[in-house]
């Protein structure tokens, strides 16, 4: 529930409250410390966005290299502003990290940063359809060439599937009623825009909790459109293979569903269940947590950048002793 507050902030506070630039990087100092940068090392920022974290990493490299991923064409355009021979932008989904790094000749790296979710720029660009503050087509694709939009989901999913995503990804209490309302409304007319959707759900919106409810609906749709949970799982599973022993994994999540995956994977090398043991009873897990608990932004940072409020930062190190599975 705490994480939902994040969506309140980003959807309902004015744009000027957050940024005068593409995106203000969250917990920059903590992320850099977490990466434990070797100036000659090889690093990956899998969520380039406006490049705030990437630029700071590059400043700390001498002969080292930085590879940055983003699936958004606007982020790719931002990457062109960086002129450094140490920098390579990879226009791809981070769920394919291993394959792309290999393609670019970087089999093993010393640190990986993931600052999950969407950028302030994406939220604040009305036509991307991420924000309930604007009226626009129901889109919500991070990758503008993606095959599925929020409009497809709203107009084509069965009641059961809508119920499942609203409940699972939005943690909405009246998920079935909301799903049924969408299904009934679209029998008359397709639901194309944000205002169409709000109109359909108006009757079912808990009184006094309208903002929270719509933030939850939007969170659910965005996760489904971009297959965010699946992409995160696939990415995390590849990180032990990509990292050199002693290499760092630094991940910042903005809602509890993502943070839970990250936490479990770091704890056990799996998304559920206990840590496996070898014959001698030693833990068989590829990563060691560096921090006891998730790191959160300071009050001062949250005041300056409300987006930082719900961020949970976790840092892990690739174990020296466990071979890649």
Residues 177-236 close enough to bind ligand SAM by CB under 6 A: 231
Q: Nearest approach, Cβ of 21 to ligand SAM (angstroms)?
A: 9
CA dihedral 38, 43, 45, 50 (to 10 degrees): 60
Residue 110 within binding range of ligand SAM, rule CB under 6 A: no
Distance of alpha carbon 323 from the chain centroid: 28
- In angstroms, rounded to a whole number, what is the distance separating the alpha carbons of residues 221 and 149? 9
Q: Does 49 bind ligand SAM (CB under 6 A)?
A: yes
CB atoms within 10 A of CB 220: 24
Beta bridge partners, 106, equal none
Token reading at 293: 């608990």
- For residue 41, the minimal CB distance to ligand SAM (Å) is 19
Q: Is 305 in the site for ligand SAM (CB under 6 A)?
A: no
> Under the criterion CB under 6 A, does residue 72 sit at the interface with ligand SAM?
yes
Q: Does 118 bind ligand SAM (CB under 6 A)?
A: yes
Task: Please identify, among the stretches 59-67, 87-95, 190-198, 215-223, the one whose residues bind ligand SAM according to the rule CB under 6 A.
Answer: 87-95
Find out whether 146 and 225 touch, Cβ atoms under 8 Å: yes
DSSP state, 209?
-
69 binds ligand SAM (CB under 6 A): yes
Binding-site member from 34, 41, 51, 269 for ligand SAM (CB under 6 A): 51
Token pair of 257 as six digits: 């569903």
How far apart are CB 199 and ligand SAM at their closest, in Å? 29
312 neighbors 294 (Cβ within 8 angstroms): yes
> Nearest residue to ligand SAM, using CB?
49
- Which of 79, 88, 119, 178 binds ligand SAM (CB under 6 A)? It is 119
52 interacts with ligand SAM by CB under 6 A: yes
Taking the alpha carbons of 135, 140, 145, 149 in that order, is the dihedral positive or negative? negative
In this structure, the number of other CB atoms found within 10 A of the CB of residue 124 comes to 20
Q: Judged by CB under 6 A, which stretch of 91-99, 169-177, 201-209, 283-291 contacts ligand SAM?
A: 91-99
Instruction: Give the integer Cα–Cα distance in Å for 56 and 206.
Output: 43
Residues at the interface with ligand SAM (CB under 6 A): 23, 25, 47, 49-53, 69-72, 75, 93-95, 115, 117-119, 142, 231
């Amino acid at each position: 529930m705490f994480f939902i507050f994040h969506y309140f902030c980003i959807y309902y506070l004015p744009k000027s409250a957050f940024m005068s630039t593409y995106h203000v990087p969250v917990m920059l100092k903590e992320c850099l410390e977490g990466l434990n940068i070797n100036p000659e090392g090889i690093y990956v920022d899998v969520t380039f966005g406006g490049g705030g974290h990437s630029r700071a990493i590059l400043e700390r490299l001498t002969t080292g290299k930085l590879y940055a991923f983003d699936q958004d064409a606007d982020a790719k355009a931002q990457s062109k502003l960086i002129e450094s021979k140490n920098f390579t932008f990879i226009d791809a989904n981070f769920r394919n990290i291993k394959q792309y790094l290999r393609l670019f000749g970087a089999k093993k790296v010393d640190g990986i940063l993931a600052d999950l979710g969407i950028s302030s720029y994406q939220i604040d660009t009305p036509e991307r359809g991420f924000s309930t503050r604007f009226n626009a087509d129901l889109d919500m694709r991070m990758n503008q060439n993606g095959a599925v939009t929020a409009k497809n989901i709203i107009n084509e999913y069965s009641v059961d599937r809508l119920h499942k995503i609203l409940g699972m990804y939005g943690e909405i209490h009246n998920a079935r009623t909301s799903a049924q309302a969408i299904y009934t409304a679209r029998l008359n007319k397709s639901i194309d825009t944000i205002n169409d959707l709000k109109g359909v759900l108006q009757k079912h919106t808990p009184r006094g909790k309208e903002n929270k409810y719509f933030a939850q609906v939007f969170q659910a749709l965005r996760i489904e459109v971009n297959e965010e949970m699946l992409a995160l799982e696939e990415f995390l599973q590849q990180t032990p293979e990509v990292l050199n022993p002693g290499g760092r994994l630094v991940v910042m999540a903005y809602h509890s569903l993502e943070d839970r995956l990250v936490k479990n994977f770091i704890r056990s090398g799996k998304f559920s269940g206990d840590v496996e043991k070898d014959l001698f009873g030693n833990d068989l897990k590829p990563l060691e947590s560096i921090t006891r608990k998730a790191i959160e932004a300071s009050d001062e940072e949250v005041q300056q950048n409300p987006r930082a409020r719900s961020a949970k930062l976790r840092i892990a190190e690739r174990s020296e002793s466990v071979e890649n599975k």
